[in-house]
């Protein structure tokens, strides 16, 4: 090779080296028209129409229909740049970020793929679980459940023209908890109606800590009223409702309701309310408590406490507890232990009679201990032992008090039980003993007395059944059962006036009585497609009693000489359809030819918001009472309701409530008018869907 040729080769080699691209700027670009390979590492996967990667810093650039998948997160955008070194992602153009049901939309996104923290501009956040939508100029995603939105608007209505919204300079949102906002303005459409410097409220359907929506009203007794509730979640098994009640005529009331759940189904609540009544210049209050403690399947304790500062509190402020017609405040403690056929109980009761002038004559049970035995078999014979017994300490200030023993042991014989007739005979004795303390001029006097009164009876019954085939709509079969029963009961007549009288158990009513009853039951078999349902259609019982001794005595009739027949008793319950139920209980006086007592009721509920019910009660021409309620959602979007209670014997309207609720998809307003003797009240209550509910 000559020198000229060698020189040419060296020159060509040098030029090629100078023209080669720099290693620092090396970039792999897929040729046009070829299939783009997706980018993937341990936690991220990227697909796009076009993709390139810088070999030096690992920066991946993806353009056109970009999809990024990472640990359950889905990101779509027009363009994405991702640094495999710093794990930072930059997305622009129609950015959509989703994880689970939560969806974020915006123009730009900067996100740390390791921590999940991100910033988005011009963002729209939707959380279907809460029905909430947040739009903001800038949003910071702390994690998948926590966000901070600047210059934001929040609503649970449909976008883009919501019926209401909350505007805030800064909004912190926890999708598993609640939201807090600063400089908040409440808008109806686009009109500002309320400013709040700070607010906190739940943003999920489950119970969460937050400020509930207030209730506004006015009544003749309390004046203008503003009720502001605050709901606190202490733990998954405990919560607390605080209540601030502002009344222009009565003052400021405060209330609290604490609820809790314990192990094995144990649960309870404690509530209280107090107000310094400006009309009476004194503190007035109410306290209520209920507790159920389940120690085991065979042992439990139940306790209730009810107290008020005065006898008129319930009638004036009872709407807080929903009970303003209470006749007494009862505080009780009851325990129960069972095993096999036996049970042991203890019971304490302190009672405040709200209808009495004072409580001096009110009977208190402090305490009572009881024992029961139920059908304990004896000697492998058709003999069974039953027992009811108690020892009571009975106390009152202004009348005799003392201790009482009651035992009622009995033996039951089941001589034969065939498929046609069932027979049982029993015999027992009522054993009663008393220690009575009285007061006279000589001081305390203690007396002892007792009584033993036998009781026996026999009962015979049978069952007659027939099944009818029917093709009435979905009703395919009707089962009709008639159970006639004949019984006889005997309790010896005894003058018991020497014994103390604490309650009705201290006077055993003489019986020498035959009872005849017949119970008719209809049950239906309903078939709809592949589904089969058995349902009770009707139950009717007719009963009459005849006194062999010639006079009728019971708790309702008391003493009716020369009237051996009792009232004719009819009890019935009928389901005309699955949605319509009729009840009728009545006693008919065979001698005066009139209804002595009657309880009539009817209720129709279509399970779609339409309900109508009426109830009527009559007792011995002394009490006559009517109650009715009606609600309908047929006039969309209104839900209307009406309730009335009227006393015919007093010719008095006891209570009526008119209510109308306007329901929108994302809000509702409820207007109600309450009328009671001496008081008329108006209330208005707003509800924003997804906010302020517990």
Examine the pLDDT at 427 and tell me if it is beyond 80: yes
pLDDT at 553: 60
pLDDT-derived band at 561 (thresholds 50, 70, 90) equals: low
pLDDT at 200: 72
pLDDT-derived band at 557 (thresholds 50, 70, 90) equals: very low
Average pLDDT over residues 618-626: 83
User: Distance between CA atoms of 341 and 185, rounded to whole angstroms?
Assistant: 67
Q: Which among 542, 549, 548, 592 is positioned nearest to 571, based on CA atoms?
A: 542
Tokens of 430: 């009522």
User: Between these two residues, 633 and 9, which has the higher pLDDT value?
Assistant: 633
pLDDT-derived band at 488 (thresholds 50, 70, 90) equals: very high
pLDDT at 206: 55
Q: Is 141 exposed, middle or buried (0-12, 13-18, 19+ CB in 10 A)?
A: buried
Average pLDDT over residues 372-396: 92
Least trusted range by pLDDT, from 319-323, 363-367, 464-468, 669-673: 319-323
The secondary structure of residue 256, as a DSSP letter, is: E
Write out pLDDT tens, residues 66-120: 999 988 889 999 999 998 888 899 999 999 998 888 888 999 999 998 888 999 9
Neighbours of 43 (CB within 10 A): 12
User: Distance between CA atoms of 80 and 664, rounded to whole angstroms?
Assistant: 41
User: Between these two residues, 204 and 426, which has the higher pLDDT value?
Assistant: 426
pLDDT at 131: 75
User: Distance between CA atoms of 30 and 49, rounded to whole angstroms?
Assistant: 11
Examine the pLDDT at 500 and tell me if it is beyond 70: yes
- Identify each DSSP E strand in 189-222 by its residue range: 191-202, 210-211, 215-219
Least trusted range by pLDDT, from 228-237, 283-292, 294-303, 502-511: 228-237
pLDDT at 408: 97
Least trusted range by pLDDT, from 140-149, 272-281, 411-420: 411-420
Do residues 321 and 287 make contact, with C-beta atoms less than 8 angstroms apart? no
Average pLDDT over residues 121-141: 85
pLDDT at 583: 95
Neighbours of 97 (CB within 10 A): 24
Write out pLDDT tens, residues 665-688: 788 888 999 988 888 899 988 877
Q: Which among 634, 628, 642 is positioned nearest to 672, based on CA atoms?
A: 642
pLDDT-derived band at 197 (thresholds 50, 70, 90) equals: confident
pLDDT at 317: 86
The helix or strand, by DSSP H or E, that contains position 18, with its residue range, turns out to be helix 3-19
Tokens of 165: 């919204």
pLDDT-derived band at 441 (thresholds 50, 70, 90) equals: low
Query: For residue 11, which phi and psi values (nearest 5 degrees)?
Result: -65, -45
Least trusted range by pLDDT, from 16-30, 216-230, 240-254: 16-30
Q: Which among 91, 203, 209 is positioned nearest to 147, based on CA atoms?
A: 203
pLDDT at 204: 60
pLDDT at 375: 87
pLDDT at 77: 94
pLDDT at 198: 83
What residue spans of 217-370 are helical by DSSP H? 313-317
SS3 for 132-153 is EEEEEEEEEECCCCEEEEEEEE
Write out pLDDT tens, residues 250-295: 999 999 999 999 988 899 999 999 999 999 999 999 999 999 999 9
pLDDT at 14: 44
Percent of the chain with pLDDT over 70: 88
Percent of the chain with pLDDT over 90: 48
Do residues 198 and 173 make contact, with C-beta atoms less than 8 angstroms apart? no
Examine the pLDDT at 209 and tell me if it is beyond 60: no
pLDDT-derived band at 478 (thresholds 50, 70, 90) equals: very high
- The mean pLDDT value of the chain amounts to 85
Question: What are the angstrom distances between the C-alpha of 688 and each of 213, 215, 245, 669?
Answer: 8, 13, 21, 9
Examine the pLDDT at 412 and tell me if it is beyond 60: yes
User: Between these two residues, 613 and 399, which has the higher pLDDT value?
Assistant: 613
Average pLDDT over residues 216-230: 89
How many helices (H) does the chain have, and how many strands (E)? 2, 44
How is 516-550 classified by DSSP, letter by letter?
EEEEEEEEEEEEETTEEEEEEEEEEEEEEEEETTS
Tokens of 583: 């009840």
Least trusted range by pLDDT, from 104-108, 140-144, 364-368, 548-552: 548-552
User: Between these two residues, 72 and 25, which has the higher pLDDT value?
Assistant: 72
Write out pLDDT tens, residues 333-366: 999 999 989 999 999 999 999 888 889 899 999 9
pLDDT at 552: 65
The set of residues, in sequence order, having a beta carbon less than 8 Å from that of 141 and lying 6+ positions away, is 97, 104, 111, 116, 117, 118, 119, 120, 147
pLDDT at 692: 53
The set of residues, in sequence order, having a beta carbon less than 8 Å from that of 258 and lying 6+ positions away, is 238, 239, 240, 241, 269, 270, 271
Q: Which among 223, 260, 226 is positioned nearest to 245, based on CA atoms?
A: 226
């Amino acid at each position: 090779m000559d020198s000229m040729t060698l020189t040419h080769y060296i020159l060509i080699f040098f030029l090629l080296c100078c023209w080669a691209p720099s290693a620092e700027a090396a970039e792999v670009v897929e040729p046009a028209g070829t299939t783009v390979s997706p980018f993937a590492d341990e936690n991220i996967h990227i697909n796009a129409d076009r993709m390139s990667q810088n070999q030096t810093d690992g920066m991946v650039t993806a353009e056109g229909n970009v999809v990024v998948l990472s640990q359950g997160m889905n990101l779509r955008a027009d363009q994405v740049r991702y640094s495999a070194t710093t794990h930072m992602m930059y997305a622009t153009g129609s950015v959509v970020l989703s994880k689970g049901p939560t969806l974020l939309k915006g123009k730009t996104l900067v996100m740390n793929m390791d921590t999940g923290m991100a910033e988005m501009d011009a963002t729209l956040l939707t959380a279907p679980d809460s029905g909430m939508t947040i739009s903001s100029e800038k949003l910071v995603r702390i994690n998948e459940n926590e966000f901070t939105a600047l210059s934001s608007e929040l609503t649970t209505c449909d976008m883009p023209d919501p019926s209401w919204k909350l505007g805030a300079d800064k909004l912190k949102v926890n999708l598993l908890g609640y939201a807090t906002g600063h400089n908040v303005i409440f808008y109806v459409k686009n009109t500002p109606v309320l400013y709040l410097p700070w607010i906190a409220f739940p943003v999920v359907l489950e119970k969460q800590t937050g400020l509930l929506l207030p209730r506004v009203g006015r009544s003749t007794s309390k004046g203008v009223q503003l009720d502001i509730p605050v709901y606190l979640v202490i733990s998954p098994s405990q919560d607390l409702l605080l209540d601030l009640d502002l009344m222009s005529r009565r003052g400021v009331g405060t209330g609290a309701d604490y609820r809790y759940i314990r192990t094995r189904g144990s649960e309870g609540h404690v509530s209280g309310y107090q107000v310094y009544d400006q009309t009476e210049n004194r503190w007035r209050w109410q306290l209520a408590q209920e507790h159920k403690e389940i120690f085991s399947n065979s042992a439990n304790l139940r306790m209730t406490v009810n107290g008020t500062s005065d006898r008129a509190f319930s009638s004036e402020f009872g709407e807080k507890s929903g009970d303003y017609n209470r006749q007494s405040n009862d505080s009780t403690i009851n325990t129960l232990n069972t095993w096999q056929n036996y049970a042991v109980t203890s019971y304490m009761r302190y009672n405040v009679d709200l209808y009495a002038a004072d409580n001096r004559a009110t009977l208190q049970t402090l305490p009572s201990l009881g024992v029961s035995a139920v059908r304990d078999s004896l000697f492998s014979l058709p003999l069974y032992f039953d027992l009811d017994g108690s020892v009571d300490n009975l106390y009152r200030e202004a009348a005799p008090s003392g201790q009482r023993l009651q035992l009622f042991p009995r033996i039951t014989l089941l001589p034969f039980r065939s498929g046609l007739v069932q027979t049982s005979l029993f015999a027992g004795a009522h054993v009663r003993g008393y220690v009575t303390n009285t007061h006279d001029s000589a001081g305390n006097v203690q007396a002892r007395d007792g009584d033993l009164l036998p009781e026996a009876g026999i009962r015979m019954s049978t069952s007659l059944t027939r099944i009818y085939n029917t093709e009435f709509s979905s009703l395919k079969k009707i089962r009709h059962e008639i159970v006639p029963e004949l019984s006889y009961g005997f309790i010896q007549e005894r003058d018991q006036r020497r014994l103390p009288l604490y309650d009705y158990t201290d006077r055993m009513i003489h019986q020498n009585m035959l009872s005849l009853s017949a119970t008719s039951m209809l049950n239906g078999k309903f078939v709809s497609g592949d589904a089969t349902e058995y349902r009770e259609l009707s139950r009717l019982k007719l009963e009459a009693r005849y006194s062999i001794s010639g006079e009728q005595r019971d708790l309702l009739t008391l003493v009716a000489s020369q009237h051996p027949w009792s009232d004719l008793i009819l009890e019935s319950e009928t389901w005309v359809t699955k949605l319509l139920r009729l009840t009728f209980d009545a006693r008919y006086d065979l001698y005066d030819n009139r209804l002595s007592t009657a309880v009539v009721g009817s209720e129709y509920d279509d399970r779609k918001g339409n309900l109508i019910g009426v109830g009527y009660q009559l007792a011995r021409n002394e009490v006559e009472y009517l109650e009715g309620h009606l609600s309908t959602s047929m006039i969309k979007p209104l839900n209307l309701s009406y309730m009335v209670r009227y006393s015919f014997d007093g010719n008095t309207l006891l209570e009526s409530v008119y209510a109308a609720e306007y329901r929108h998809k994302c809000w509702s307003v409820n207007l109600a008018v309450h009328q009671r003797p001496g008081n008329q009240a108006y209330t208005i209550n707003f509800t924003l869907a997804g906010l302020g509910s517990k």
